[in-house]
């Protein structure tokens, strides 16, 4: 960087601190993520988990046991207007919105015997229908960007959890990952070409073509990286890692480059879900005792963008934290 670039970076940093933003996280190549306010959206004694941002940006679905057992809820993205979508004494969890925002996939044990199956319902909880019917665990659904398929994790190969995909009738079942390892937490890339997932054998994040080919490793942590979540523009993947001794949210390029940490708190920070505009990440954390849903403001400044930032862009950047 030249002196002018350094001066601009300093001014941006100072401005963001004055504006209430928390941190400018840079890497050695100068690429920067700016993290801002963290807001708590829920406040109750139950555990609130697995946030999933709706495609229109207006709502966040999540799992909570606040009413005695795990159910799916949805609230406005500011935490208001809470609605409960499921009413069953067994576990319901891990909501995933369809790309058109009309439906939510989730897993439920309502079929009995502690057997988890994948279901889909309308976004208001109506029209629930079951997609899987297998004695072994089926869970963690992730909708394809074209809305035609749902990837999920299943234990139906004895001793190995694998990534599968099916159409919306539950048919055309395809096993996408092979071997005897444990593959979990599929996340479909926004262009539909790839699926990221957690490989429990290496502990890292892997990615494969959407047909299961070309499996390759993105991270190789000393610990575990899990729950990848693709950014809406497809350029980045957020995930959870314990590589720094407590569970934090990290982000990296979708090729595994430029990894950096976004949260810094001794409590657990889990399950990132991007807002559709890429400017916020919802997650859950037990930093206030039990698990609650939080939203963190973020802004990405590429490796050359900061150096080229104009005063107009600085003003624009500073206004990101307001709604």
Nearer to Ca ion, 88 or 167 (CB): 88
Burial of 162 (0-12, 13-18, 19+ CB in 10 A): buried
- What is the chain's percent helix, strand, coil content, to nearest 5? 5, 45, 50
Closest CA to 189 of 240, 218, 230: 230
Residue 124, token pair as written in the block: 């208001």
Q: Is 69 in the site for Ca ion (CB under 5 A)?
A: yes
Q: Is 248 in the site for Ca ion (CB under 5 A)?
A: yes
Q: Under a CB-based contact definition with an 8 Å cutoff, are residues 46 and 268 in contact?
A: no
Nearer to Ca ion, 76 or 88 (CB): 88
Instruction: Tell me, by CB under 5 A, how many residues bind Ca ion.
Output: 17
Q: How far is CA 196 from CA 37, 216, 240, 273, in A?
A: 28, 10, 13, 14
Q: Is 138 in the site for Ca ion (CB under 5 A)?
A: yes
Q: Is 246 in the site for Ca ion (CB under 5 A)?
A: yes
Q: Is 88 in the site for Ca ion (CB under 5 A)?
A: yes
Q: Least CB distance from residue 217 to Ca ion, whole Å? A: 24
The DSSP secondary-structure symbol of 30 reads -
Q: Is 183 in the site for Ca ion (CB under 5 A)?
A: no
Site string for Ca ion, 9-48 (x = CB under 5 A): -----------------------------------x-x-x
Q: Least CB distance from residue 184 to Ca ion, whole Å? A: 15
Q: Under a CB-based contact definition with an 8 Å cutoff, are residues 262 and 298 in contact?
A: yes
Q: Is 76 in the site for Ca ion (CB under 5 A)?
A: no
Query: For residue 312, which phi and psi values (nearest 5 degrees)?
Result: -60, -40
Selected range binding Ca ion among 5-13, 117-125, 221-229, 306-314, rule: CB under 5 A = 117-125
Q: Is 284 in the site for Ca ion (CB under 5 A)?
A: no
- Interacting residue ranges for Ca ion, rule: CB under 5 A: 44, 46, 48, 69, 71, 88, 92, 115, 117, 134, 138, 246, 248, 265, 269, 290, 292
């Amino acid at each position: 960087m030249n002196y002018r670039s350094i001066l601009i970076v300093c001014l941006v940093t100072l401005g963001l601190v004055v504006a209430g933003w928390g941190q400018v996280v840079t890497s050695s190549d100068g690429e920067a993520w700016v993290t801002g306010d963290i807001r708590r959206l829920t406040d109750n004694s139950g555990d609130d988990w697995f946030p999933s941002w709706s495609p229109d940006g207006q709502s966040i679905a999540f799992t909570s046991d606040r009413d005695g057992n795990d159910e799916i809820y949805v609230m406005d993205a500011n935490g208001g207007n809470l609605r409960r979508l499921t009413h069953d004494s067994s576990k319901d969890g891990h909501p995933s919105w369809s790309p058109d925002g009309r439906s939510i996939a989730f897993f439920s044990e309502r079929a009995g015997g502690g057997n988890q199956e994948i279901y889909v319902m309308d976004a208001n909880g109506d029209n629930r229908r079951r997609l899987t019917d297998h004695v072994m665990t089926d869970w963690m659904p992730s909708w394809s960007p074209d809305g035609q398929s749902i990837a999920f994790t299943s234990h139906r190969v004895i001793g190995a959890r694998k990534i599968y995909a099916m159409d919306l009738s539950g048919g055309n079942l395809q096993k996408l990952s092979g071997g005897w390892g444990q593959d979990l937490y599929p996340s479909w890339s926004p262009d539909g070409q790839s699926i990221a997932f957690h490989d429990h054998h290496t502990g890292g994040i892997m990615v494969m073509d959407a047909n299961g080919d070309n499996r390759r490793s993105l991270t190789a942590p000393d610990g575990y990286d899990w729950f990848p979540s693709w950014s809406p523009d497809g350029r980045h993947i957020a995930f959870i890692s314990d590589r720094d001794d407590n569970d934090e949210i990290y982000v990296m390029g979708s090729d595994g480059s430029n990894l950096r940490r976004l949260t810094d708190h001794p409590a657990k920070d889990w399950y990132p879900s991007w807002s559709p505009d890429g400017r916020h990440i919802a997650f859950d954390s037990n930093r206030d005792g039990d698990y609650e849903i939080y939203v963190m403001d973020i802004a990405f400044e590429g490796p050359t963008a900061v150096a080229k930032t104009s005063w107009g862009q600085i003003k624009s950047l500073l206004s990101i934290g307001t709604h």
